[in-house]
Structures are given as structure tokens and as C-alpha cells.
Structure 1
Amino acid sequence: MSGSGARTIATWQAPLVCGGSSDELLFTFNRARERRVLVLPALFDEANKMRRFTVQMMHALKERGVDSFLPDLPGCNESLEPLELQTLESWRTVVEAAMEAFDITDVLTIRAGTLLSPPSLPTWHFAPLSGPKLLRAMIRARTIAAREAGHEESSEGLIELGRKEGLMLAGWHIGPKMFRELETAEPVQTDFQTVVTQKDLGGRGLWLRAEPDDDYKASKALAAIIAGELEDAG
């Protein structure tokens, strides 16, 4: 990892499904403090809508004395790796590598990021989303866009295509293996997890808005919940 100080945009070595590793970006507030939270963001279209919320929440954690780490996954954001070659399984391997590389003590997942949650560390799931629900929303958005463009696409036909060849959904090229994984993927259940709902923060979920937006009050509220529970745990 390169970079130092409080707020850093760095790089790190993420393992690849085909072997080897790739340079991926890392956004972090790292002061080598005791509590170090790995942030697994919302996925695909929701990642765009919630990026600013996520970074604001990390700012707020910093003010509460907690380090945080938001690594790019291969195939996402600035990554040069093809998304269609990535799978949920390969991303879980990346998460395990990030936990070790950054000496992570706790994990926060946001929306479908919960599908990558490791079972071994204390974790907060913010508004967790299952794979089937994520797929259903993106497929519905594609059929609506097709209709508005003057041609019809059926959900059944898209699902069949996705299973065999992969599918472009909301600008993301999801490969066939990841598509099939998402059809059944559910959040991991362990004794170390806490679910935080949008109701706990107030307001309306950013993933429901048509365009990317922010909610500084909600991001601070989420950071306060996490930092407060860490303080109570000692």
C-alpha cells in the first residue's frame, strides 16, 4: 500500500481469480488506531448512488477515532480488470486479503456489499440486500429502458441470457458465473453481526433516488452507531 497520513488515496494488491494480483485504488483514513473498519460498499448501480454517502460516513468515523478502509474491487471503479471475469467468490477472496493487508478489526457492509461479508469479524450490515433482489431491480430497470427506447425485452429472456452468457445491467457487464451466484446469494448469518436499517438513520434511502446524492445527516448517524458500539465494546 502506498500513501500515508490521515486521508489517503493509495493503491493495494488485490488477488485475481486467474492468479496473480492487480493494483487497485484504496481510499482510507488511517492513523494506525486500534479500531480499523473495512467498508464493503453497495454494488453496481447502487454503488454510484451511495459513493458520497460512504465517504462522508468514513469522514465521520475518523472524527470518532476510528480508521476506515474502502478498497476498490477488481472490475469496479478505476480498476483495469474486466468485470465480466469477476465472481462473488473471487471478490470474497479479495475481501479476505484486504482484511489481512490492513489489519482489519471490524467490517461495515452497505446494501449488497453484505454478500461479500466475512464470517469471522464483527460486522454491521447497513440495509442489507440479497442477490435476487439486486438482480430483480437491475433487470427491471433494463426492461423499462428498453421499452422507452422502443423495443421490448422480457425479464425471463434476460435471465436466461444472463445465466448462459452474462448480461449488461445498468452499465455493468456481469459475467455468467456471477449472474448465477447472484440468483441465490444471501447475506451470511453469524453471531457477530448487527443490522442497521435506514429507519435507524432517518430519511429516505439514497438507493431509491434517480441520481447519485448525499445525506450528511444519515452518514454521520451511521458512523455514530458504529463508533458508539465500538466504544461500548471497549
Structure 2
Amino acid sequence: MTPTNWPCPNVGGLVQEYALTFDAARNHRLLIVPALFDEGNRLRRLTVEVMRRLDARGIDSFLPDLPGCNESLQPLERQEAASWLSAMTSAARHFGATHVLGIRGGCLFTPAGLPTWHYAPVKAAAIMRQMLRARLLSAREAGREENRDALAKAALAQGIELAGYRLDAAFYRQFELMAPDAAATVVAQDCIGGAGLWLRAEPDEDSAQADALAALMANGIAA
């Protein structure tokens, strides 16, 4: 596993972003678009373990950061949904991807034109509902009363902070309408076994799930 930088188009020009890679210049090269926000943290270990298993099966893989997330130095509040899609399209070109895997919310940003799998895809509206619900619960525990409709209206006008993530109004407007590409091959959780790790309170791992997802991807790529 090698951390590397890659040139990413972003607001104001080209920037350097971070990626984890298993790259031995092999013929099969899988771009992985990570899960978003807190789900990305919960699924990071699973994602990397899948990459290790694919490497053992002779498949290169690449896990780039979305601008504004993880190790990125770009401000999240300056991002737009369109810029994330442009970033992943650029990453696919840069790494010479032959196949793509989106994970959960990352399925919304898988670039077009390559064989694509979506692991437990989710609509953007569902992600926003979950994050709004978490904010309402946090406010209630702190003795504040907030209203879902008022928060959503404010988000559309001036942006919003949810679960520690500051989202611009333009991002919110673009993002909440997004849905995964219906043409992708869907990998449902019951194909992997067990409950989704994004449902756990803290980041965790499951070697059986990593084995199952890696095997499914390797078989699909080789087909």
C-alpha cells in the first residue's frame, strides 16, 4: 500500500489530493469512490482491507480523497457536488482505471464510461435526512429546539453544518437531488453477509465481509 498525490481539478485550479494505492502496473485497475462523511470513517478499514485482498488477487486499486475530506487541504465549504464528480472523473483518468467501485454515498460520484459496481448505494436525500436527524437529536440533547424544515430551508439559502461538516448552499442544492446511476451493478449488503458496518457507532472491521466483497469484485473484474 502506497500513499500518493494526484492532480485534481478544483475550485480555483489544479490541486494535489491524496490517495491510497496498490499499484503494480497491472492490467486490472479499480478506482474506489469512498463512502461519504461519517460513513466514510466507519467504512475506511473495510475499504482498505478489500484493497489488500484485491492486491493479492492481482488487481491494482486506488482510493482517492474527495476534495475537502480526509487528508485534503481544500475547504469542504467551498466544494460543490459537481466538483466532486469532476474530481473522481479526473482520478479515474490519472490512475488509468479500468473499473470502478462506489461505496454507499460514493456511488453518487462514480465516473461514467467504465464498468461500475455500487456497494449498498444510497440516495443523497437519504444521507441528508440522516445528517439532519443527527443534528436535531444533538440540539435536543443540548437543550435547543431546531426544526427540520427550517434547517433544510436555511441550508438551501446559506449552507449548513451537519455532523461537523460545513456544506455550502450550492453543494446542498446539487447534492440532495442526486441518485446513483441505475446502470451500475448493485452489490447489496446481503451479498456480503452481516449488517453494514456503517450502522455501527464507531469505525470497525469485519474480515468476512472484506473477503466477500473482494471476491465478488475480483470475479466481476475478471469476467
TM class by shorter-chain length?
A: over 0.9
- Does residue 64 in structure 1 map to residue 57 in structure 2? yes
Is contact 1:105-1:122 (8 Å) kept?
yes
1:110 to 97, 103, 110: 103
Is contact 1:107-1:123 (8 Å) kept?
yes
- Does residue 83 in structure 1 map to residue 86 in structure 2? no
Q: Render the CA deviation track for 1:148-173: whole Å, top value 9, x for unaligned.
A: 11111111111011111111111111
**How far 1:108 sits from its partner (Å)?**
0.3
Name the amino acid aligned to 2:219. Answer: G
TM-score, scaled to structure 2:
0.97
Runs of 4+ in 1 over 2 A off after TM superposition: none
1:201 paired residue number: 192
Is contact 2:54-2:61 (8 Å) kept?
yes
1:129 paired residue number: 122
Stretches of structure 2 that go unaligned for 5 or more consecutive residues are none
- Give the Cα separation in 2 of the matches to 1:102 and 1:182: 26
**SS where residue 25 of structure 1 aligns?**
strand
Stretches of structure 1 that go unaligned for 5 or more consecutive residues are 1-6
1:155 paired residue number: 148
Question: In percent, how many aligned pairs have the same letter?
Answer: 48
**How far 1:115 sits from its partner (Å)?**
0.7
Counting only pairs closer than 5 Å after superposition, residues 163-178 of structure 1 correspond to structure 2 as 163-178=156-171
**SS where residue 181 of structure 1 aligns?**
helix
Name the amino acid aligned to 1:16. Answer: N
**How far 1:29 sits from its partner (Å)?**
0.3
Name the amino acid aligned to 2:146. Answer: E
Name the amino acid aligned to 1:197. Answer: A
**Structural RMSD (CA):** 0.9
2:10 paired residue number: 16
Is contact 1:24-1:71 (8 Å) kept?
yes
